[in-house]
Amino acid sequence: MTKPPLYEMQQASGAVFKPSGGWEMARSYGNPVLEHQNVRKQSGLIDQSHRGKLRLKEKDRIDFLHGMVTNDIKKLTPGSGLYAVFTNDKAKMLSDARIYCLPDALWIDLEPEVTDKIQKHLDKYILASDVTIENLTEAFGLLSIYGPSSHEIMTQMIGSEPSPKEHSTITFSLDGISILAARNEITGESGYDLYVPINRIVPTWNRLIQIGGPYGLRPVGLDALNSLRIEAGIPRYGIDMDESNFPMEAGLEKRAISYTKGCYIGQETIARADAQGRMNKRLMGLELTSKSAPTTGQPILAPPASSGTPERVVGTVTSGIEAPTLDKVIALGYLHRDFTEPGSAVVIEGKPAKVVSLPFYTRAY
């Protein structure tokens, strides 16, 4: 199990750890609800150094990656980025990814569990293309600042105002070290991911705490990050979507798919599904009347049509939480297309629940 460079510092701050993607990462600093609320009201600093980081270089990198993912890589220019999905030839999801365009490279951010799989997938298709792929997961840490004050903190950090556009990037120097910062809204708040050379992660953390302290910046663990992204209605690969899902089932068609970019692996199936206009199931939000959150894999049932009519399974829960911001129990889950209309009644854990549109939470600023 890999321990991040911040491990001892986080441990001294009261961090509780859990395994994630082969790393021992900070789960919380004692109270994930307060950490969650701090991100909603001020800002939080999260160590995500375990996330996968691939860098593609050489002259064919754009054409090559354009043919591997669902979104339009050719439209990118240095300083821009996008969200995309890697699919197999049947259009099932191998992974999602955030992709950033640098002057001489493409940077791919992945869930930690799929990094090796995606690198092997890309290697298989390189053939005669002039492309090199570097796995920089252990060479670069990832520090994330999320919350309403994140923009002010970044402005102080880099000495100028960063772009507010999601997935935009800027490279800046801190104590002579080059750091890549990318705009990210995975919590439902404004935020930035900072990719830092691993040997500079500790002083960068300390500098962020120093600059961000007056703005309410506090350390936050992965438990709060999970509850924040569920409130924001954002599915996570490996939990809410996997190789059994089409991207459209997870509601990613607007964020991750270009229907005009041309050919890529799985494109014909996705185009055919778009023409038909309907998937058999879809990821939806659920509001529950129970006081405890449902667990992954729990069945979602249709209410009995009449007395004595048996309940039938119409879906499956993928994520559930007691939402700190909303003060209610919510969940994400796949539902049969006949039950995706907001307001539809379903049953979970023997208690009534209601289907709702995503996201649960939208920021006011």
Query: What pLDDT, on the 0 to 100 scale, is given for residue 352?
Result: 94
Q: What is the pLDDT of residues 314-347, one digit of tens each?
A: 999 999 999 999 999 999 999 999 999 999 999 9
> Residue 201 corresponds to which tokens in the numbers above?
């992660």
Q: What is the DSSP letter of 290?
A: S
Domain ranges of the chain: 7-51+138-231, 280-358
Topology, domain 280-358: Elongation Factor Tu (Ef-tu); domain 3 (2.40.30)
CATH number for the region 7-51+138-231 comes to: 3.30.1360.120
DSSP percent split of the chain into helix, strand, coil, nearest 5: 25, 35, 40
What Cα–Cα distance (Å) separates residue 11 from each residue in 15, 48, 139?
Answer: 5, 16, 22
- Residue 70 exposed, middle or buried by CB count within 10 Å (0-12, 13-18, 19+): buried
CB-based contacts of 2: which residues, under 8 Å, 6+ apart?
Answer: 22, 23, 24, 50, 138
Cβ atoms of residues 247 and 318 within 8 Å: no
Rounded Cα distance between 151 and 140, Å, is 23
- The model's confidence at residue 289, banded by pLDDT at 50, 70 and 90, is very high
Rounded Cα distance between 182 and 82, Å, is 10
Q: What is the pLDDT of residues 56-111, one digit of tens each?
A: 999 999 999 999 999 999 999 999 999 999 999 999 999 999 999 999 999 999 99
Q: What is the pLDDT of residues 145-193, one digit of tens each?
A: 999 999 999 999 999 999 989 999 999 998 889 999 999 999 999 999 9
> Dihedrals φ, ψ of 11, to 5°?
-60, -40
Query: What pLDDT, on the 0 to 100 scale, is given for residue 311?
Result: 77
**The residue to which tokens 């994400």 are assigned:** 332
Query: What pLDDT, on the 0 to 100 scale, is given for residue 175?
Result: 86
Question: 265: helix, coil or strand?
Answer: coil
Query: What's the mean pLDDT in 10-18?
Result: 95
Determine the Cα angle at 216 with ends 213 and 221, to 5°.
95
